[in-house]
Amino acid sequence: MEPRRVIYYLAVLFLSMITLCGCQDLVPRDTPSLLDPKLQRSEVVGVLAGFGTTFAAMPDLVAMLKRRSSAGMNPRMTAIMGTFQVLWVYYGLLILSRPVIAWNVVAVLINFLNVGAYLYFVRKEKAEPNRVVGR
């Protein structure tokens, strides 16, 4: 790399560090929510984030039920996700976080339904080997 470019990068890094050092009072504070003063703002953000990640497995379940087939489903992935979501529930209990507990309990149930539907359709497909998948 050219020496001139190195000096440029170091100057930008130095100016960035000076700017960040002056931002000590800009640390986000966990204030009561505007929607419900009993909740902290971090809990509201946790509820919104949990909603998105919890229902990420839902499209697979809906597609499998519409198709009435296990084709395209990876039960290992769902089982791994479910296992770690149980750990997230335990973590939520340790830190007493309602959003972490609630959303991960729902996610564990959705993953349980995914694995259950997969096992159901695999058994059904083995019983009917000549059946066309997806009809």
For every one of its 135 residues, what pLDDT tens digit does the chain have, with 9 covering 90 and above? 688 888 888 888 877 777 766 666 666 666 676 667 777 777 777 778 788 878 887 888 888 888 888 887 877 888 888 888 899 899 889 988 888 888 889 999 988 888 888 889 889 888 887 655 555
| pTM, rounded to two decimals | 0.60
* Cβ neighbours for 51, distance < 8 A, ≥ 6 positions apart: 103
CATH 1.20.1280.290 at 30-127, yes or no: yes
DSSP 35: S
Task: Please state the domain extents for the chain.
Answer: 30-127
